[in-house]
Amino acid sequence: MRKQIIIIGAGPGGIQLAYYLEKNNIDYLVLERNDKSGSFYEKFPIHKKLISINKVHTGFEDPEVNMRFDWNSLLSDDNEVLFKDFSEEYFPSSDSFVEYINKYSEYHNLNIKYNSEVKQIRKLDHFEIETNDETYQCEHLVIATGLSKPYMPNIENIDLCTNYVDLEFDPKPYTGKRILILGKANSAFETADHLIPYATLIHCLSPNPLKLAWGTHYVGHLRAVNNNFLDTYQLKSQNAVINGEIESIKFENNQYYVTVAYGNANGEVEELIYDEIINCTGFKFDTSMFHDSIKPELSNRDKFPKQNSSWESVNIENLYFAGTITQMRDYKKSTSGFIHGFRYNSKCLYHILDNKINDREWVYESEELVSPESMAQKIIDNVNRASSLWQQFGYIGHVIVLTDEGTLKYFYDVPVDYLHDNYSLFGSRYFVITLEYGDEIFKNASDIFAVERVHKDDVDNAHLSAFLHPIVREYYEGELVTTHHIIEDFESKWDEYDTHVLPLIKYLEGKFVTLKSELLK
């Protein structure tokens, strides 16, 4: 069977892309090795609690605004199948997500072939995908299999440890044991929190210091829902968080002897003894399905396939990636590693593929006889409701192109790095609107819960805004020309005329003067 596009993996990234391909009548097929969509979530996270928020009661009626606080629903035009109809828990069960995504797939009549396990992928003038029951061909291949292979640190005898993927939900076998957990991200602390009532002591260890999501704005760093363990450490309840390198692991007499070089003890090295070691160091991309001749180049300690700004493999043409794999492009900076981020990436990938296959222009709205006032109001209206800008802060933007005729083209949801690489598809002079934090201000703050906000009347210092706020940047042929910050607001409502709108109008007035003078030359 031959298709124009084949997607491997019926997780949320692949399903989101399939929705847009189905909606726009593009020839595609999804291959899924299991008997349902989202099967990864049947097992993970091990302890069943998602850390993606599900805020059902937002106080807003606008479905677009509500998607700012719904981190589990996939995008659709009718909003008929939303995750809130499957759970009202703020941190819901992963089982609810499996139920939801299969209903979404069924409702939208997506073309999915279940129980179809890929054995090998080759490439001639097209891709050939050999499965357990059939061989498929396609022009464009999208891998949406997630990070499915455990990442193993380079530590002697690491294979003697229990891996996160092999854990069981029942904590009782760990009763009375001394436990070392490798890693300091959410899977490590989720596991530690689950074992606190049973274990004698628990140590969480990695070379790098712990990072908290509330300080970095990266939701993959430790979240508050998993940080109860920190109390037990700082309040001296037999547990600890260790910065250190493991030099060796030995297993003798049913115990693990671990040599640790401490990172914060002036070079001290010590041997610690444990009954169990649990490896919670994350996952990596599995390349085993690819024939040796077309294995994608890897990056980030070989965790991710290396991608260009189109989420296309840098060394295999027409091989694309969707879902959590796309975080390679904004690793630990925005939200592409998570559903509420990569759902927008999948939407953008549809536009990228549609342009490449059908030579269709990215969808835009056009306005005639545009003025600085009307342009400013359009920007303000959209930054106050767009979920894509809110979720994919600094990574996905809205784009305004002012044509030589003085009309305006407004493009929604364009990856900023893709735009700069392909500005000829949009226009040589363009403005990018994003929402961003003042990261440097947070990095230098002694207490992130006491960061000084810029006074709303101090619009000349809007660039010192620490919290999420709109930024408008002007580019010409990919080069930055000017920048305008819209001052932060306590409730993230940028609609006060003197504070938010008028400074933007004044900024844009200068741009219109420049454009008119250029046209007169």
Closest CA to 181 of 270, 222, 224, 241: 241
Amino acid at 266: N
- 323 and 424 in a single domain? The answer is no
Q: Which residues form the domain of 437?
A: 364-520
- 371 and 492 in a single domain? The answer is yes
Q: What was the pLDDT predicted at 517?
A: 52
* Final residue of a structural domain among 279, 303, 336: 279
Averaged pLDDT, 117-140: 96
Quote the strand ranges of 47-114, DSSP E: 112-113
Averaged pLDDT, 457-478: 93
Q: What size, in residues, is the chain?
A: 521
Q: What is the pLDDT of residues 159-205, one digit of tens each?
A: 999 999 999 889 999 999 999 999 999 999 999 999 999 999 999 99
- 186 and 131 in a single domain? The answer is no
Q: What was the pLDDT predicted at 521?
A: 43
Amino acid at 96: S
Q: Which residues of 402-422 are buried (b: 16+ CB within 10 A; e: fewer)?
A: beeeeebbbbbbbbbebbbeb
* Residue 340 to residue 390: CA distance in whole angstroms: 10
Residue 445 has pLDDT above 90, yes or no: no
* Final residue of a structural domain among 358, 383, 400: 358
Residue 520 has pLDDT above 50, yes or no: no
Which residue(s) pair with 359 in the sheet? none
Whole-prediction pTM value?
0.95
Give the chain's domain count: 3
- 49 and 192 in a single domain? The answer is no
* Residue 207 to residue 86: CA distance in whole angstroms: 40
- 261 and 324 in a single domain? The answer is no
Which residue(s) pair with 178 in the sheet? 201
Mean pLDDT taken over the chain? 94
Q: What was the pLDDT predicted at 264?
A: 87
* Residue 5 contacts residue 358 (beta carbons within 8 Å): no
Residue 516 has pLDDT above 60, yes or no: no
- 453 and 471 in a single domain? The answer is yes
- 316 and 420 in a single domain? The answer is no
Residue 22 has pLDDT above 80, yes or no: yes
Closest CA to 122 of 7, 5, 291: 291
Q: What is the CATH number of the domain that holds 118?
A: 3.50.50.60
* Residue 336 to residue 510: CA distance in whole angstroms: 35
Quote the strand ranges of 152-297, DSSP E: 162-163, 178-182, 201-206, 240-252, 255-262, 269-274, 276-279, 283-284
